[in-house]
Chain A
Amino acid sequence: MPRSEMMIEKGLTLVDAINEALYQEMERDDRVVILGEDVGLNGGVFRVTDGLQKRFGPDRVVDTPLAESGIMGTAIGLAMAGMRPVPEIQFEGFLGPAFDQLVNHAARYRTRSRGAITVPMTVRVPVGGGIHAPELHSDSPEAIYAHQPGLKVVMPSTPYDAKGLLTSAIRDPDPVIFFEPKRVYRSFREHIPEEEYTIPIGQAKVVSEGSDITMISWGATVFQCLEALDQLPEDVSVELIDLRTIDPIDEDAICQSAEKTGRVVIVHEAPKTCGLGAELATIIQERCFLHLEAPVQRVCGFDTVMPYYKLELEYLPDAARIVEALQQVAAY
């Protein structure tokens, strides 16, 4: 789709970037089909698929019945039969009914058929809190899916990364869950290339270089980390890494940084216990033990059910909590 005046002048939002990637992949490869609730005429509840049904027709951008297990299960079938489905689950909370299809089927077909059957699909899911939404519209379940072997899990935080990673995901021969941090959907614009490009799945990105502390995050909390950096005394030099891909983890990138700084803080929205921070901290102590100057720190959501929105800002890691952890680690 041609870019709007606004996009040309001010750049693309995360929503625009994802829409552009979908558009270009559908143009390039007619095996790509989008399916989900309200993705057609309505363009999705966040308008991420806006205009796509008009351009590609209702056979390729399909308003499905209201059934997540149905969406996921039929997407698996489409993929097995040679299509490239891009199912959308309307909010991360509604992955629940699709869980069985995703974890027990999509993730396992390649292995259980010893490579004879594969499931090349990309599941798009808005994720995370901070938008004043109702119950089950604000969770961060990425670690649950990272825990399942056979699934790749991606969560970009910028329009540039989103476009490149989504393109890679759609072309990937295996199932990929593409989490879209909804707090970032329209929070800023970025100028990104109009032509298609890819960013490899499994590569972290150094957002800002530093030498004293490594800070690792992904999704919307990357911006709370940046806010924290602004509040930190100037003589503390922090290297901020945006993981971008949750699974497979870019171990080399985080270990390189951890070895350089010897101090690590991990920030994520999901609950602390068994969150991805636990895995990252373990990787770091396994590979960088002799370089560490302080215990690895986590700043996470609490080990509670995500509260309704009156208390969601208290729940979500904010700059103040991150600064405190950074200072503790610096002073250790």
Chain B
Amino acid sequence: MPIKTVYNAQIEHLQILDETGKLDDKLAKDTLTDEQVSYLYEQMTVCRQLDEVAFRLQRSGRMGTYPQNKGQEAAAAGSGFAAKKGVDFLVPCYRENLALFLHGLPMHYVLLHWMGDERGNQIPEGVNITPISIPIGTQMLHATGIAWAFKLRKEPRVAVTYFGDGATSEGDFHEAMNFASVLQVPCVFFCQNNHWAISVPREIQMNSETVAQKAIAYGMPTIQVDGNDLFAVYKASRDAIERARSGGGPSFIEAVTYRLGDHTTADDARRYRDQKEVEMWAARDPLVRLRKYLEKKDLWSEDRQKRLEERAKAIVQEVVKTAEGIEKPATDDIFDYTFAGELPAELQRQKATMRTSSLGQRPEQVGLHAVPERA
């Protein structure tokens, strides 16, 4: 009997706006309007400014460790914009600030988080996101569960979860993918492949040529997009989100992008990666590309750029002021959210005394001498 091929697979790569700012009009049809592109370009610029300022805050000791988003703004913008604010649910890690802002998270929350304050995670009512997630590769299961709940309640809502290339090595990632696909829940898995997981390049992280192909094993629609191309990211995200919303189950998107900064402010990428590679990707900066496009279409000018940059500075200055103006939490804050309702007695005592030593009674109360004799 002849050997048969029982499965064939291929991965498509989508690019709509190339590095020179040239748009594929056919593919771009029914994606973003000029107005939307200008709006998102402005948001990306403000986000970049926040990133630069956050970096400086850390360097001057005004903030803790911070992971720059620099270079990945189009991935966050296109996907975040494709999800319905106030309806869909974002389950992020930490390199998609702009998606969170687009869904209504006040910008100072992100600073507050990295300033070591849990109130940066106290997501305001009506903003459908989970807080920044530090443990890698864990949150995609939560997104799957959230999407599952939407499905059970027959709500036309979608969960979009973000993670890096490195995160796809964790077991939880694979469990989330399999659950989502088996249960056919409305979840979009959005991988920001920025080529690095701290010092580990993608080629060492995995032996598969693309990240996107991992979804094939789970029977999930999958695509690779140019992650620095706002149009491609938006189109792929919108298609996946609307497929999920209409009962078509989960999808996977690999957004190929690049981490232009260090992993975090605690890292020094010069130790492990070639500056030439960074320069090559700096030339593909999503902001530069989008500006080229806008200029080509006569939607942008030197003057508008100048005004935008000034506005971005002013906005971020205000955000920093807000974040730094929030007083350090009271020590009660450590205790008050341990459980719903009244704290257990021992915790109440710890909270009231800020002590864990329990020798409350004084020696004279128990009838002992104040200065003990040695036995």
Contact = CB atoms under 8 A, between A and B. Distances in A.
Given A294-B372, A311-B329, 17 more contacts: A42-B198, A45-B266, A66-B167, A66-B169, A67-B170, A68-B170, A93-B134, A96-B135, A295-B359, A299-B355, A302-B351, A304-B338, A308-B117, A314-B331, A314-B334, A328-B359, A332-B372
Given A67-B169, A70-B171, A310-B115, A315 B334 contact: yes
Nearest to A265: B357
Given A65-B206, A321-B357, A331-B371, A94 B334 contact: no
A323 to B, nearest CB: 11
Contacts of B335: 302, 304
Interface of A: 37-38, 40-43, 45, 63, 65-70, 93-94, 96-97, 132-137, 262, 265, 272-273, 291, 293-295, 297-305, 307-312, 314-315, 317, 321, 324-325, 328-332
Interface stretch (B38-46, B230-238, B362-370): B362-370
B170 A272 contact: no
B167 A311 contact: no
Contacts of A302: 334-335, 347, 350-351, 356
B132 to A, nearest CB: 9
Nearest to A299: B357
16 contacts: A65-B205, A66-B137, A66-B197, A69-B171, A96-B135, A97-B135, A134-B64, A136-B134, A273-B346, A294-B372, A303-B338, A303-B346, A308-B118, A310-B117, A331-B362, A332-B363
- B-side interface mostly: loop
A314 B346 CA distance: 18
Nearest to B173: A67
A325 B355 CA distance: 9
Given A66-B136, A134-B64, A273-B346, A304 B334 contact: yes
Interface of B: 64-65, 113-118, 134-138, 166-167, 169-172, 197-200, 204-206, 266-267, 271-272, 328-329, 331, 333-335, 338, 346-347, 350-351, 354-359, 362-363, 368, 370-372, 374-375
Contacts, number: 158
A191 B272 CA distance: 31
Candidate in B197, B272, B346, B356 with the most chain A CB atoms within 10 angstroms: B356
A174 B133 CA distance: 34
B333 A311 contact: yes
B280 to A, nearest CB: 20
Nearest to B269: A42
Contacts of B328: 310-311
Given A65-B169, A66-B205, A303-B346, A41 B272 contact: yes
B271 A42 contact: yes
A246 B65 CA distance: 31
Contacts of A312: 116
A241 B335 CA distance: 31
B170 A66 contact: yes
- Closest 4 pairs between A and B when the two form their complex, measured CB to CB: A309-B116, A42-B199, A65-B169, A325-B357
Nearest to A65: B169
Contacts of B200: 37-38, 63, 65-66
A250 B90 CA distance: 50
A21 B114 CA distance: 35
Contacts of B358: 295, 297-298
B169 A70 contact: yes
A70 B167 CA distance: 13
A297 B359 contact: yes
Given A93-B135, A97-B171, A272 B368 contact: no
A317 B199 CA distance: 35
Nearest to B169: A65
Candidate in A40, A265, A324, A331 with the most chain B CB atoms within 10 angstroms: A331
Given A66-B205, A297-B357, A42 B272 contact: yes
B334 A307 contact: yes
A67 B363 CA distance: 54
Nearest to A68: B170
Nearest to A297: B357
A291 B375 contact: yes
B172 A97 contact: yes
